[in-house]
Structure 1
């Protein structure tokens, strides 16, 4: 991707305000709450391995309202992505084309996404399992929605939202803005990877490490490819596997992917 010109003092100040406002509206706010959730979890009497968290919690017990709230959550979640793209837009320069969020190279993007799925997805699953075994990762309930007709479409939309939100903001937007501020490439890659790790801190230390590594790999790939689309596809595929494949994994490895059933106490006979 081409370098952007370094700005003067006034433009740099305005750009820092822009970055701060967008992050406060989206992933930065979530990262702060995520870190606080981890700190709170560490202060409980239970170990991290005995705690759990839900990635796609039900919004309402009634099916109709649950579906409505879930769809609204996806829609409003994408507003931050739209804002990032709008801020990147310049006269005569499409933000979609600049960060490579388009369909100009569908086969190449799919091939690169498949490669990233293998490089990031499989080790990430192993890292999660290892973290659970060591008791440093909370139990992540990836798809606690009821098994109804709307469950799979909602989980697919949730995976797409996660891919667009994280890759457009962490990679497409921040790389452009921080580069304009004169930051070096590896400083940008490591900083955005650290923010991505903080964004997932509520899941425990295993996902912190895994998402930091994911951020480094994705940042390096974006530096080489200049396209966000393969990253969005790979991220969405990883989440689809996690969200929809989770019930199968929970059935096969209940001690790792689902909490162990609590034994029913044997009633004491009354003398």
Structure 2
């Protein structure tokens, strides 16, 4: 399991995170919410092992994150950053295949099956033969999502703990593909036992697709729990500094419906 205990993190002299206790459970989707500057991306980077904690602990399977080599870590977690950048004129298949780089043991048949599965789950199969740089921003995001899926699924042993970390993955997507992506993450968590963390700005998408939510403000945890426990007017007004109404969603099973500025 990927976990933190009293996690703190600085960027230069500025303290970004403080006192974060968190567990990413297999088979669960955890959403991270907060206003701009709350520390969401810093938290994801620290969990990914890309940024060192300056206080507390980050552990994967009980071992400190600092004890994992980059190669070993790449076999256990996949990251979709907020703004993936790629300037090389590669095909979509080549970009998605990057997710399989840490797994040299894959046979050509395994590799092909993995690419097909990842492209299908990301609704990007129709883009497979195109050039990545010729795609729209939303299409590129779906391809990058497929790359992360390929990495988190490749050569996975039954029951092995794997983590998928997504930073604002819906930002450049149309409503249909926002729902498709989050539905794919939820289905992957349920079917494969993957632990998923998703940084989101859309509170209602988080309420619909996440099992638990972490609400951050100024680098600290305001609330951690189910959407119903976290998405209360008092907590949301504290974080977003706006009047909030929290309603019963008209569609059953969708979590609370949040209306800002009402």
Q: Compare the two structures and name the one with the higher strand fraction.
A: 2
**TM-score range with shorter-chain normalisation?**
under 0.3
If asked which structure has higher relative contact order (CA below 8 Å, sep 6+), I would say 1
Q: Compare the two structures and name the one with the higher helix fraction.
A: 1
- What is the TM-score when the length of structure 1 is the normalising length? 0.25
- What is the TM-score when the length of structure 2 is the normalising length? 0.25
Question: Which of the two has higher C-alpha Rg?
Answer: 1
